[in-house]
Amino acid sequence: MTQEVSPGYAYGQLERALRTAASTKDAAVRRRARAKAGRWREVLAGMAGGTLEIGSRTPVADTPAWVTLEVAHGGFATGRYLAEVPPRPEELALAPGRADRERLNFWYLTDAGLAALRAALATESYRIEFPEDAALPVVAWLLGHGHAEAALDLLAELRPLLHRLRLAPLPGAAPRPAGALVRLSTVGEVRETLRSATTRPAIAAMLETLRVWHPLFDRLVALWAETVDGELPRLTGTGVTGGWPCRTWPAGWTARRAQWLADYATASARHTTSSAHTHPKGNFARLHRALLACEHDSAALTGRDVGWLRRALANTVTKHGEPGSERRAALRSVQAAVAARPTHAELAAVLAGRLDAYPADGGLPSLDPIPPELPPHLVAKAARALEAPIEELVERGIITSGDVLATVLPQITAQLMAANVEDEELAALYAQTYAAFRRRRGLLLLDLAHQVRFEELPWIAALEPFRKRRPDAAARQTLTQTVLLALGSFPQAILPNTLVRELGALAKQAGRPMPLLEELAADIFAGTFTAKWRTAAEITSRVMAGTVYARYYDLPAAWEEPPRPRWGLRRRTADDFAELCRARAGRRGWSVAGNGMVIEQSQILTTHNLAVLVETLGLRGRLREAAPELAERTFAWVVRRLAVRTADPYTEWQLLKNIAYAWRQGIFYLSFCTEEQQRAAVDRLRELVEPESRFAPAVAGLAHVVAGGRFTEDGSVPDSPGRRLLGWTVGPHWCRSAG
């Protein structure tokens, strides 16, 4: 049965973007929301018009799979080619008179163009922004090394898109972190973020009031106070007491009035953020209107006007003190100190200026240029450009999750992949291309299709004869260190798909291929699994045999030989594994929640990559050392998340799902602990979780298994409140309804 993707998700995303654009007061947020809405309109128009087939490896009509597409959230292609961009000035400077993309691409195939590409390769003075940028440099290299036939074959594949895609790199060096150093962002990206910082309208209005309008108001109050005969007006319990304004006119008052009005007009033209001083019933506005009407005496003011003038003076004198008094001066001093503090945007601009000394495409060798007195959130922004070992970035809190770890890992993997290319020029090009390829966003795929692989790029496929296939010890070491770092830094989180893909590339480079599994989406799950799921489950049953994990989740003790495929056919699916997952989940019909239950069973049966990694990389010994701490930290995270309460059903479901996934990770770590350590972990959980709380049954269930027991078929404990904790369920979750 062929699956189809409903446009409902895209409609929902469009509606959300439009709602944000209509409701936000932040111009930058509004601009981003409108751009997002535009992308979703393109998605929906393509789906309706038949030019987009969402779920396919080639979702855009008449477009090969290797083209880098613009992909919206959730893997929806918009139909736009990212490398379909107009020539930049630096490109046109190389080939004057060739203003369109096709003529520029053809120029690179002339003697002058090929020479320019070879010179760029020799000096590494180029930047690969999209994988397509490497296509014509590969053609130049092949021609320069006597492989004309391979070059012509590659050009034949590129020819249909020569008029649309940029197939040559941008001029200019692309600094890369050396060795095992990585960075989260370039200096240029950080500078752009810092310079785009703005002051929130409410804060800007407050600062303008403190800096501009309060001093003008105090001068206005003092000006009118000069006209009062006797004590200044004040508020009492019976009304206004004190003298009346407009009874005396000191020498020079008219000149001071004119000067104030001129200063007010200037301020009004320059400062338009705050409007509090213009409120018609405010003290400022009443005093201002009276001043406009009264040139040198009170003839233009009615008795009612003078009464309101007296009341306005009484209000401010009673509240803040007389003009020039210590009380008023003390208040303004505090307000002036607040107003003198630099804003977030001003500090960000200062920091951006400090970073101007560094190349935009490079990173920061240290955080020394960052003034230590800056607010932590600005330091954190700048620290994204720090070049350092991955471990240091994790320790500093710059890498905060497995997803972030996956974004920087290609900077190392690219160099390891390129190490198999002996030609130095080609190796550098290969590394940059790999890093650009890893920046591609994955597509939403159906029917067990896989994402485009790096080797499927035609220009990379053309280079395969020039790569030596040999196990890479450095890749093996990097793979092991990355796995240990991910588990040690984020023990509660399953390995995200982006990281799983990068670990798979490292494993292949290291000569240690393994069945690594990505998390499947419940809303498009087809009910089948590829054969690697079954292989991973076999490894898991062997590795976890006799452990707390095996008893808690009732793992199969062994797996029978899979049914043989018919002669001449290659079996892609593991039907017996899928049937077991459905049976364990108790599901037969289709629903998103039901699919989630089946997928969760597949994760349980495979430990979602943990057992495979431990077994293939030989990590049992190291895991036994770290397991007690990892289990404790994971369970502590679960307890902290349990304290989060929300009335939103979707948020509550997400919370429980993540808690159940983390709980599974914790039980995996607990399985590598001694029995004494396992009992101690359960005792700590009992101390943290109240006996009557909604999570107490999960703790009781774990205690039962640690003591050697097992759950019944429905996941309960006889004569006990203990329950097996799972994340997905059809209908109310027992953990949600309890407590």
261-318 tens-digit pLDDT: 999 999 999 999 888 888 988 999 999 998 988 865 556 788 888 899 999 999 999 9
- 585 shares its domain with 691: no
Mean pLDDT of 387-404: 91
Does any domain span residue 139?
no
For residues 264 and 373, membership in a common domain is answered with no
Predicted pLDDT of residue 295: 65
Q: Please check whether residues 551 and 654 belong to one and the same domain.
A: no
Q: What are 659-707's pLDDT values in tens digits?
A: 999 999 999 999 999 999 999 999 999 999 988 888 899 999 999 999 9
Q: Give the model confidence (pLDDT) of 105-117 as tens digits.
A: 999 999 999 999 9
Alpha helices in 145-211 (DSSP H): 148-158, 187-195, 201-208
Computed over every residue of the chain, the mean pLDDT equals 89
By three-state DSSP, how is residue 388 classified? Answer: strand
**Statement to judge: residues 261 and 335 lie in one domain:** yes
Q: Assess contact for 611 and 543: CB atoms under 8 A.
A: yes
| Residue 418 forms part of a structural domain | no
Contact indicator for 126, 172 with CB cutoff of 8 Å: yes
- Contacts for 554 with CB less than 8 Å, ≥ 6 apart: 710, 711
Q: Name the helix (H) or strand (E) containing 170.
A: strand 170-171
Q: Flag whether 725 is in a domain.
A: yes
576-579, long-range: CB within 8 Å, 24+ apart, which pairs?
A: 576/534, 577/529, 577/533, 577/534, 577/537, 577/602, 577/605, 578/527, 578/528, 578/529
Q: How far apart are CA 352 and CA 349, in angstroms?
A: 5
pLDDT given for residue 298 in this prediction: 56
SS3 237: coil
pLDDT recorded at residue 3: 60
The pair of structure tokens assigned to 49 is 């018009």
Q: Is residue 719 located within the same domain as residue 629?
A: yes
* CB atoms inside a 10 Å sphere around CB 351: 23
pLDDT (0 to 100) of residue 565: 53
Same domain, 211 and 332: yes
Name which of 652, 651, 661, 664 is nearest 735 in CA terms.
652
Q: What is the pLDDT of residue 372?
A: 77
Q: What is the 3-state secondary structure (H, E, C) of 328-339?
A: HHHHHHHHHHHH
Q: Which residues are CB-contacts of 514 (< 8 A; sequence separation ≥ 6)?
A: 504, 507, 612, 613, 616
Under a CB-based contact definition with an 8 Å cutoff, are residues 505 and 572 in contact?
no
> What's at 573, amino acid-wise?
T
Q: Which helix (H) or strand (E) holds 241?
A: strand 239-241
Dihedral of the alpha carbons of 53, 59, 61, 67, in degrees to the nearest 10: 170
How far apart (Å, rounded) are the C-alpha atoms in residues 189 and 350? 16
Give the domain extent around 353: 192-198+343-385
**408, 177 contact by CB (below 8 A):** no
Spell out the residues 6+ positions from residue 524 whose beta carbon is closer than 8 angstroms to its own. Answer: 3, 5, 55, 444, 446
Q: 421 with 438: CB under 8 angstroms? A: no
3-state DSSP helix/strand/coil % of the chain, to nearest 5: 55, 5, 40
Contact 735, 694 (CB under 8 A): yes
**Are the CB atoms for 52 and 77 separated by under 8 Å?**
yes
User: Residue 739: is its pLDDT beyond 60?
Assistant: no
| 104 domain residue, yes or no | no
Query: By the 8 A CB rule, do 397 and 378 touch?
Result: no
For residue 363, name the pLDDT band (cuts at 50, 70, 90).
confident
Strand partners, 72: 76
With respect to residue 182, please indicate whether it lies within any of the assigned structural domains.
no
Q: What is the spatial distance between Cα 422 and Cα 112, in angstroms, rounded to a whole number?
A: 27
Q: Which residues of 94-107 are buried (b: 16+ CB within 10 A; e: fewer)?
A: bbeebeebeebbeb
- One-letter amino acid identity for 3? Q
Query: What's the CA gap between 125 and 403, in Å, rounded?
Result: 31
Residues 600 and 629 in one domain: no
Say which residue the tokens 């040198």 belong to.
296
The reply to whether 561 falls in a domain is yes
Closest CA to 429 of 8, 133, 177: 133
Tell me the three state secondary structure of residue 638: helix
Question: Of 314, 340, 366, which residue sits at a domain end?
Answer: 340
- Answer with the one of 49, 81, 113 that is the final residue of a domain: 81
Number of domains in the chain: 5
Does residue 374 share a domain with residue 313?
Answer: no
Of 52, 81, 110, the domain-final residue: 81
Q: Which of 233-237, 645-649, 711-715 has the lowest mean pLDDT?
A: 645-649
Are 166 and 132 within 8 A, CB to CB? yes
The residue behind tokens 């790569």 is 467
What pLDDT sits at residue 136?
Answer: 96
Distance (Å, whole) CA 167 – CA 492: 43
Pick 1 or 337 by higher pLDDT.
337
- Average pLDDT of 635-650? 86
Same domain, yes or no: 355 and 323? no
In contact, 348 and 378? CB cutoff 8 Å: yes
Both 235 and 275 in one domain: the answer is yes
Q: Which two tokens stand for residue 471?
A: 């196990």
pLDDT value at residue 566: 45
* Position with higher pLDDT, 720 vs 613: 613
Is the confidence at residue 567, as pLDDT, over 60? no
Judge if 209 and 332 occupy the same domain. yes
pLDDT of 575 above 80: yes
Residue 17 domain-assigned?
yes
For the beta carbon of residue 501, count every other beta carbon within 10 angstroms: 18
| Residue found by looking up tokens 């070491």 in the block | 477
pLDDT on residue 568? 40
Residue appearing with tokens 């033209």: 269
End-to-end distance of the chain based on CA atoms, in angstroms? 44
Is the same domain home to 540 and 648? Answer: no
Average pLDDT score over residue span 119-127: 91
Q: Which residues pair with 181 in a beta bridge?
A: 389
Given pLDDT bands bounded at 50, 70 and 90, which one contains residue 18?
Answer: very high
Is 221 domain-assigned? yes
Q: Is the pLDDT of residue 587 over 90?
A: no
pLDDT tens for residues 400-412?
Answer: 999 999 999 988 8
